[in-house]
Amino acid sequence: QVQLVESGGGLVQPGGSLRLSCAVSESRFSISTMGWYRQAPGKERELVATIGSRGDPNYADSMKGRFTISRDNAKNTVFLQMNSLTPEDTAVYYCNAVILTMWGSFHNYWGQGTQVTVAS
């Protein structure tokens, strides 16, 4: 079974940085687009960033210039470097992966989320 495992969340001070990682535990499939989404209390889940299989990134406007998404295809892992964090970045961050199976079908998978808290 395909599982996405996030790591790297935690408590940081405003202005600090975190690096999130998400590894796909099942290696039988080809991973297409990967991304990060977040959900703060009382808000809708929103896009943070996505990255295509060729490494092409896209970001939500509020994240541009502060966050960087990258991936290591050999390790089935996507990263999110988060800099200049503010309390508004506090949320549960979810990893997402679109997987192409050997039979030609696409499947969308989500991690369980990792908590990021920005506070002094």
Chain segment 65-115, per-residue pLDDT in tens:
999 999 999 899 999 999 999 999 999 999 999 998 888 899 999 999 999
Closest CA to 69 of 89, 88, 52: 52
Distance of CA 19 to CAs 27, 52, 81, Å?
23, 19, 4
Residue with the two structure tokens 């970045």: 89
pLDDT for the residue numbered 1: 81
pLDDT for the residue numbered 27: 66
Tell me the pLDDT of the chain averaged across its residues: 94
pLDDT for the residue numbered 89: 97
∠ CA 100-94-68, rounded to 5°: 85
pLDDT for the residue numbered 113: 97
Which of the four pLDDT bands, split at 50, 70 and 90, describes residue 44?
Answer: very high
Distance (Å, rounded) from C-alpha 65 to C-alpha 62? 8
Q: Read off the pLDDT of each residue in 4-14 and give the average, rounded to a whole number.
A: 97
